[in-house]
Amino acid sequence: MLRRFLPLLLALLLAVASSGCGFKDIDRRFFVVGIGIDGIDQGKKRFRITLRLAIPSSHNENGAKKSQVITQDAESVTEAVRLIKSRVNKELDFGYAKVIVLGKNIIQRDLRDTLDWMIRRRDIQMIAWMAVGDPSAEAVLKLKTSSERLAGNALMLSFGRTGVESGYIVSQYLFDFYRKTRELGLDPVLPIVQATKSGYAINTAVVFNKHSAQMYLTRDETRIFNVTYGSISKVEVEAPMGDEHLYASIDKVNMSFKVRTPPGKRPYAQLKLYTDGLLEESSVVTTPQQLSEYEEIIRKTGETRITQLLQKFQQANLDPIGFGLDYRARHFQSLDEEWRNWQQIYPQLEFRIDYTVKLKNTGVVR
Amino acid sequence: MIRYFYYLILLNMLANIVLFVPGILIARRFEGSILSVALSVPIGYVLTRIFMRALAAFPGQGFPEILRSTVPSWFGKPVLLLFIFMWISAGSLTLVTFTDTITTFINPDIPNWLTLASLLCIVALIARLSSDSVLYTMEILLVLSAPMILWILYKSMLNPSFRYDAVFEIVSHYRHWPTLDTLAAATYIFTGYVNMIIFNRLFGPLTKLRFLWTTPIVGCGVLLTSFLIPIGMQGTIGVGDFVFIWSSTTDSMRIEFGIVERVMFIFILLYSCISVAGTFIHWHVALEMSKGLLPRLSDNRYFSWITVGLFCALTMVFNWNMNQNTLEAAGRWWLELRLISEVALVALLYALARRKQRLC
């Protein structure tokens, strides 16, 4: 009996499964590789969405040419995407969007408003890279680099140490950015991508509070922030030696910190920083015997620079390193109480930096 | 053969992610989740111990036979009916929530009910096999997927974006009394042993359980990871914003040189194995208990088909009437009911075993 029904059952199953499927083939899709959101102010229209679309092609070599940039103004992100859909002939697929660029003017607005669409949509990767576009997201996405082998991958390779490793690049995933906009005691930082005629330059960053952009970091500050945050492993540091200069290349950065609040004393943050590297350039004659002296010079300049940067954050009441979160983790009051206490503690927090520099050699020459 | 007992426990531990356990614990992360996790370990262990001790008095017997031989049928039948309901709903809830995850993240183009129907076909076909085949199938699925799941957990804890400060912040809120829903969610981890009320038929006298002491340790580890890893990745405040907490968390992990860069797809694939295995185990137990409930009808060769078909139909109806909000409410309510009925089951079995031993 069963044997008689089984083929029928299977046939029925197959029929059901193959008919209702709305799957679209690859050549009927546009893969969005970059999303740009700019803020505009034209009456009701508040957003300008720029999408970089990759067109699937069979040859890898000429893949780079096959991309298209579409811009649309609308009053919401959804509306803009809907309007873009009416202008293209293939279905948009956001599942491969690896880079999300926010325009320089939209980050002055409330972040929650801008982020909501990206977080709420199911198909946008949480591991997309976030960046701020200067002068605008549109300009960054419209830029085509000749080194690009696949559409949009130049920007993608700049982040997360996949391609280039630079001490100036702050990398931030979408999920990381989002959690920092929500977390008490940990503030988000985004890299700024400058679109120039010849290509990108990513060497500055911007610090946010929970709502909008607050502080633009200079190039040096960005690098020092990267070292302090421990987010990079390769960085070049410079230290003055009298009138001359010393440059060391660091291969390894280890960072840990603790926030301590001893009763009756001034609260302090103890940062432990360990770096490991070698000399890269020097304008004075160097000798291997003096290595420990060079270490000391680099250590001292590093300590003052880091302290200066941390104090700058402190004065602006920003906390991109996460001292507040560490304080919360070490105290047992309720959420509100801890947070209220921390806001009184942070302005008077002292930074104690324990910076170890290890230079292995003076390079390949003495 | 005894290893299947531990498999049942392990399967249940892993399935917690599908069944709202992290969601409920995270919803109350500042108010008592940590203490209920801590309390659930001794509670779960003691319940397992008592249950297995009691079951040793009935070697090779399933729950229907035990009830038939010890209590009058006006008492036994309703009890059996209650537990059948619990086991069907366990399977249905797992499948319906997992279907939701699949439709959201893998294939939104296919209607929800079709995904569910294809899962139901697999589950229904396996659930009505003999008890030992069911266990063998479960073993294969578990052995194939457990190492990969452990690998994902391990990778997530080494992730540079993982903030241990956020985890310790949650742990530092341990000074709150647990509520019933968090306690029910946390103890679910250790519930795998109750499936033995049917699978006991395959085992001889279970007196020596040499590795039972590992269950609280492993369970505690699984519970802490499934509760705390999302917090480490999504932050103490942000984690509360997500509906599919674990899918979003695995979507936040990136394994650059893995087979697939996005861990989420591997995760969902592995968890489809786990939830299918969990469901057919539950439904098999429910089916066997239904046979015990209606012994005369169960001789009919179509009985198991019809019963399993009924389970599927119930699940489809359930799926039809649920949205995200009601589904979560149903999950919470089911977990609470489960804790109560589990304690009742253990107490009942213990009382029956005591009476039997006194009689003998």
Domain range annotation of chain B: 3-359
Q: Would you place residue A1 in the very low, low, confident or very high pLDDT band (cuts 50, 70, 90)?
A: low
Q: Which residues of A touch B (CB under 8 A)?
A: 13, 16-17, 20-24, 119, 122-123, 125-127, 160, 162, 173, 175-176, 178-184, 186, 231, 322, 325-326, 328-332, 334-335
Tokens linked to A99 = 């880079």
Q: Which of A113, A39, A35 is nearest to A81 (CA)?
A: A35
Cα distances from B149 to residues A230, B264, B284, B312, in angstroms, run: 29, 11, 25, 28
Q: Say how far apart CA B73 and CA B71 lie, in whole Å.
A: 6
* Nearest residue in B to A232, CA atom: B160
Cis ω for the linkage preceding B160 (within 30 of 0): no
pLDDT above 70: residue A63 = no
Q: Token match 């509760």: residue?
A: B227
pLDDT above 90: residue B296 = no
**Residues A244-263, mean pLDDT to the nearest whole number:** 88
- CB contact (8 A) between residue A182 and residue B235: yes
pLDDT at B176: 87
pLDDT above 70: residue A4 = no
Which has more confidence, A24 or B310?
B310
Q: What would the pLDDT profile of B140-156 be if each residue is shown by its tens digit?
A: 999 999 999 988 888 88
Cα distances from B79 to residues A359, B326, B341, in angstroms, run: 75, 27, 10
In terms of C-beta density within 10 A (0-12 exposed, 13-18 middle, 19 or more buried), how is residue A267 classed? middle
Question: What's chain B's Rg over C-alpha atoms?
Answer: 20
B256 at A interface, C-beta within 8 A: yes
* Nearest residue in B to A329, CA atom: B169
* ipTM metric: 0.89
Residue B103: phi, psi to the nearest 5?
A: -65, -35
Tell me the angle at which helices B63-70 and B324-359 cross, rounded to the nearest 10 degrees.
50
Query: Is A160 strand, coil or helix?
Result: coil
Tokens linked to B8 = 């049942």
Instruction: List beta partners, residue B262.
Output: B254
Question: What's chain A's Rg over C-alpha atoms?
Answer: 25
pLDDT at A58: 64
Question: Which residue type does A276 have?
Answer: D
pLDDT above 70: residue A208 = yes
Q: Say how far apart CA B251 and CA B245 lie, in whole Å.
A: 10
Measured between beta carbons, which residues in chain A are less than 8 angstroms from residue B250?
none
* Nearest residue in B to A20, CA atom: B110
Task: Give this prediction's pTM.
Answer: 0.90
Q: Say how far apart CA B331 and CA B342 lie, in whole Å.
A: 16
C-alpha dihedral (B7, B8, B10, B14), degrees to nearest 10: 130
B306 at A interface, C-beta within 8 A: no
Q: What residues does each domain of chain A span?
A: 26-217, 218-366
- CB contact (8 A) between residue B109 and residue A22: yes
pLDDT at A339: 93
Per-chain mean pLDDT for chain A: 85
Q: What would the pLDDT profile of A138-197 be if each residue is shown by its tens digit?
A: 999 888 777 777 777 778 888 877 777 788 888 899 999 999 999 999 999 999 999 888
In percent, the amount of chain A with pLDDT more than 70 equals: 91
Cis ω for the linkage preceding A135 (within 30 of 0): yes
- CB contact (8 A) between residue B234 and residue A179: yes
Which has more confidence, A156 or B326?
B326
Q: Would you place residue A2 in the very low, low, confident or very high pLDDT band (cuts 50, 70, 90)?
A: low
* Nearest residue in B to A163, CA atom: B256
Residue B57: phi, psi to the nearest 5?
A: -75, -15
The Cβ-side half-sphere exposure at B130, using a 13 Å CA radius, reads 4
Measured between beta carbons, which residues in chain A are less than 8 angstroms from residue B174?
332
* Nearest residue in B to A13, CA atom: B118
| DSSP annotation string for A155-167 | HHHHSTTSS---T
pLDDT above 70: residue B59 = yes
Measured between beta carbons, which residues in chain A are less than 8 angstroms from residue B100?
none
Q: Say how far apart CA B234 and CA B23 lie, in whole Å.
A: 13
- CB contact (8 A) between residue B165 and residue A325: yes
Measured between beta carbons, which residues in chain A are less than 8 angstroms from residue B167?
329
Quickly name the fold that domain B3-359 has. Answer: Amino acid/polyamine transporter I (1.20.1740)
Q: Would you place residue B255 in the very low, low, confident or very high pLDDT band (cuts 50, 70, 90)?
A: confident
Q: Which of B221, B157, B143 is nearest to B189 (CA)?
A: B221
Q: Show the CA angle centred on residue A358, arms to residues A159 and A158, nearest 5°.
A: 10
Per-chain mean pLDDT for chain B: 90
Q: Write the residue in B110, B165, B174 that is nearest to A22 by C-beta.
A: B110
| DSSP annotation string for B113-142 | HHHHHHHHHHHHHHHTS-HHHHHHHHHHHH
CATH class of the region A218-366: alpha beta
Q: Show the CA angle centred on residue B255, arms to residues A169 and A173, nearest 5°.
A: 40
Cα distances from B324 to residues A5, A80, A232, B320, B338, in angstroms, run: 37, 28, 41, 12, 21
List CB contacts of B87: < 8 A, sequence separation 6 or more. B282, B283, B285, B286, B289
Q: Which of B242, B156, B151, B251 is nearest to A173 (CA)?
A: B251
**Worst-scoring range by mean pLDDT, A49-58, A221-230, A247-256, B36-45?**
A49-58
Query: Is A15 strand, coil or helix?
Result: helix
Q: What would the pLDDT profile of B162-217 be if each residue is shown by its tens digit?
A: 999 999 999 999 888 999 999 999 999 999 999 999 999 988 777 678 888 999 99
Q: Which of A323, A346, A340 is nearest to A185 (CA)?
A: A323
**Residues B320-340, mean pLDDT to the nearest whole number:** 92
